[in-house]
Structure 1
Amino acid sequence: MEEQEAIQAAVKVYKALGEPTRFKIAQLLAKQPDQCCSTLGQQLEMVASSTLSHHLKQLSECGLLKMRKEGTFIYYSPDMDVIQKYAPYLLV
């Protein structure tokens, strides 16, 4: 990866994690991977599932999360390579 591309990737990750709810989602998934939206929503006590979906999309787009579809459910897990590279403090 070229240096400029690496910088842009890092900025996307840090921008996504700069929002407190997204930081908390990433932290929860780093500790307990493979969770669906409803389980995460219960842990975060979020009212609107659309808000949670937006946050999950942002985290996925920057590479922090992987998605796995099973039936009508989508399960989210952290991409540990990305977390260890850009945000190892999520593992604490």
Structure 2
Amino acid sequence: MTDDCAVKVYKALGEITRLQIVKTLVKRRELACQEMAAQLRITAASTLTHHLKPLLECGVIAVRKEGTFRYYHVQRHVLERYAPYLLHE
């Protein structure tokens, strides 16, 4: 992993909604979009998508598709390297 990767991770985690998404996924292991939106009180799907995209691009989270549903989970190895405190709160 390069310095460029570290910058992307910290930039993605530097926004409060994205940080809340990651903290929620650490606690819940995996969530579908609708569950995540409800838990974080995000009303527009486009807003959630806007926040998920940078987290996916830098590898902090990953997605599993099952039918028409998408389930998101954290990439623990990425958090261990760049933000281990999030795994131990």
Q: TM-score scaled to structure 2, two decimals?
A: 0.94
Partner of 1:57, secondary structure, is helix
In structure 1, the residue matched to 2:70 is 74
Q: Which runs of 4+ in 1 moved over 4 A?
A: none
Q: Structure 2 unaligned runs (5+)?
A: none
1:21 to 17, 24, 27: 17
In structure 2, the residue matched to 1:52 is 48
Q: Structure 1 unaligned runs (5+)?
A: none
Shift of 1:72: 0.2
1:85 to 81, 84, 88: 81
**Residues of 2 paired with 1:48 and 1:64: CA distance?**
22
Residues 32-60 of structure 1: per-residue CA shift (max 9 Å, x gap): 12101100001111111110011111101
Q: CA RMSD in A?
A: 0.9
Residues 23-82 of structure 1: per-residue CA shift (max 9 Å, x gap): 000111011121011000011111111100111111010100111000000000000000
Partner of 1:9, secondary structure, is helix
**Greater Rg over alpha carbons, structure:** 1
